[in-house]
Amino acid sequence: MQKVKKYNDFDEVCAFLGRVGWLAECPRSSRDLIFGSARLVRFAEDEPVYRMGDRSDGVYGFVDGGLQIMLPRDNQEIVPIHLSEPGFWVGESAFFSDSTRLVSVVATRPTVGLHVPRASVIELLESHPDIIQDFYALSHRNLATALKLLANLTIANSTSRIAQRLVYYDEIAGKCGAPIRLTQEDLANLVAVSLPTVERVLRGLGDAGAVETGRGQIRVLDRRKLISLSYG
């Protein structure tokens, strides 16, 4: 969701992930070890990074493109629960619990990132045990995101719920006005309201000058106004 240039070079990808997201907060020594164990990966639009129920094959970090985190409802319909941002890392939970994947991660458009294979993570932990603290930090970061999204779903007022979710996505984009690449149907699934409700709320936010909608995207025009409307 952050507007970045197209990344095709391994060193450029590493440089970006060293500045943005989880690895930017890790010691330089940890970053170097992880980059030394990683490989460049690319995913086409609608291609799964992994699916719910898969065995862990390592961890992934992303710099360009877009990802949806998908989860099945009780009726087994697969719906998006989160859109990722550049600098997002995922996959550590299934690795450390030695369990299958709890969610599916799918590219929403051509996407570039790094993959640290399972065997490489094991080697890192055996040769540099202290690096586990950095992976704990990643789990904490992803749990904080999950709790924030869960808290959003407890907001009873649909306008407030939608507006606050858009504020969150605009904040992680880094720059107000960067396009949030999701359809109105996806937004309805993300915030668990009906599509007509999303359409009505977005019309109101648009009339207020807070957002504008386009084909497959929403743009926040005035973040302060959107924040004010989200608590109105």
Task: Examine the domain organization and report whether 78 and 96 are in the same domain.
Answer: yes
Task: Examine the domain organization and report whether 145 and 179 are in the same domain.
Answer: no
**Which residue, of 136, 152, 168, is where some domain finishes?**
152
pLDDT in tens, 68-125: 898 887 767 777 888 888 899 999 999 999 999 999 999 988 999 999 999 999 999 9
Alpha-helix residue ranges (DSSP H) falling in the chain: 10-17, 28-37, 92-97, 118-127, 132-153, 158-173, 184-191, 195-207, 223-230
- Total domains present in the chain: 2
pLDDT in tens, 141-171: 999 999 999 999 999 999 999 999 999 988 8
| Pairwise CA distance, residues 211 & 219, whole Å | 6
pLDDT in tens, 25-55: 999 999 999 999 999 999 999 999 999 999 9
pLDDT in tens, 163-220: 999 999 888 776 666 788 888 998 998 999 999 999 999 999 999 999 999 988 899 9
Tokens of 15: 């440089």
Residue 6 confidence (pLDDT) above 90? no
Quick check: is 137 in a domain? Answer: yes
Please give the torsion angle defined by the CA atoms of residues 197, 203, 208 and 213, in that order, rounded to the nearest 10 degrees.
Answer: 110
What is the span of the domain harbouring residue 190? 157-230
| Pairwise CA distance, residues 155 & 159, whole Å | 9
Q: Can you give the pTM of this predicted structure?
A: 0.85
Q: Residue 128's pLDDT band (boundaries 50, 70, 90)?
A: very high
Quick check: is 25 in a domain? Answer: yes
Q: Using a CB cutoff of 8 Å and minimum separation of 24, what contacts does 2-10 make?
A: 2/85, 2/86, 2/87, 2/172, 2/173, 2/174, 2/175, 2/178, 3/173, 3/175, 3/178, 3/179, 4/63, 4/64, 4/86, 5/64, 6/64, 6/112, 7/63, 7/64, 7/112, 8/112, 10/40
